[in-house]
Amino acid sequence: MTSKTRGIVLRSVKFGETSVIVTMYTEIFGIQSYLVNGVRTSSPKGPGKANLFQPAAILDLVVYHHELKNLQRLKEFRWEVLYQNLFFDVIKNTIALFMIELLQKCLKQPEPNAELYHFVENALCWLDEAPKGAVANFPLFFALHLSGFLGFRISDGLSAENRIFDLEQGFFVPQEPIHPHFLDIEYSSLTSRLLQIDQPSELEKIPLNRDKRGRLLLAYQHFYATHLPDFGIMKTFPVLQAILSET
């Protein structure tokens, strides 16, 4: 049985001499793996199509889907979104790879979630067209808002009484907890401001230097590691820090 769906490429590995196995987050079926034959070969008509399966690519798919199989097959595939900058701009591409790795670490079961899919797709499209001033803060925005689709949403509960963000509890508390995993008043306030942003273009209004941005990214990584078993360490994190230190 064939079905049409959109999908975001998470990972692609070579298989055999001409094929690839692609892990994708799809709109209809959630996270799935597909065997794609013959895309690494070239012909007189043109090069192979392996470049379509770069991480963060958004594709329009016709898939053969069988509920009991772990490895599915693609019948048809083509670009759904043609990025203008994301694959070529070093900063935007690094941020996109950070987003994709975070998504991979959060998605363990093939459960569909259309709202989450649309959030990620819209985030990648916005990043592609984003003005330079808002790009550096975008990983913070994405990490904070992604959690809302995963069952541990951070509510903006900052108040005169609750001014400390507890990274283990995931909410604002009135005083420093006994464990070391919390944000002080300044960084808790910055987190509150980021949570209040609905449109990524507003990120330009929050001026952050590289040290503050790096500390917040590290804190949010710990927040995810606390709430998701086997989260581990993000490989893209040090690369992202290095790239954003230049902005």
Q: Which residues have C-beta within 8 Å of that of residue 69, sequence separation ≥ 6?
A: none
The token duo for 50 is 């392996």
| Helix, strand, or coil (residue 103) | helix
Residue 58: name the closest of 72, 79, 74 by CA: 79
| Helix, strand, or coil (residue 28) | coil
* Cα gap 2→118, rounded to integer Å: 22
Q: What share of the chain is helix, strand, coil (3-state, %, to 5)?
A: 40, 20, 40
Q: Are 166 and 180 within 8 A, CB to CB? A: no
| pLDDT tens over the chain, length 247 residues | 789 999 999 999 988 888 889 999 999 999 999 998 877 675 544 445 778 899 999 999 999 888 877 888 888 899 999 999 999 999 999 999 999 999 999 988 888 899 999 999 999 999 999 888 789 999 999 999 998 888 877 777 788 898 999 988 888 899 998 998 899 999 999 999 999 888 888 888 888 888 899 899 999 999 999 888 888 889 998 898 888 776 5
pLDDT at 47: 46
Residue 33: name the closest of 77, 65, 80 by CA: 65
Can you spell out the DSSP letters for 131-177? -HHHHTTHHHHHHHHHGGGTT--------SS--EEETTTTEEESS--
| Helix, strand, or coil (residue 2) | strand
Which domains, ranges and CATH numbers included, belong to the chain? 1-82 (2.40.50.140), 84-247 (1.20.1440.120)
Cα-only R_g, the chain:
19
pLDDT at 48: 56
pLDDT at 241: 85
pLDDT at 224: 92
Hey, which bits of the chain come out as E strands?
2-15, 19-26, 30-36, 58-64, 71-79, 164-166, 171-173, 182-183
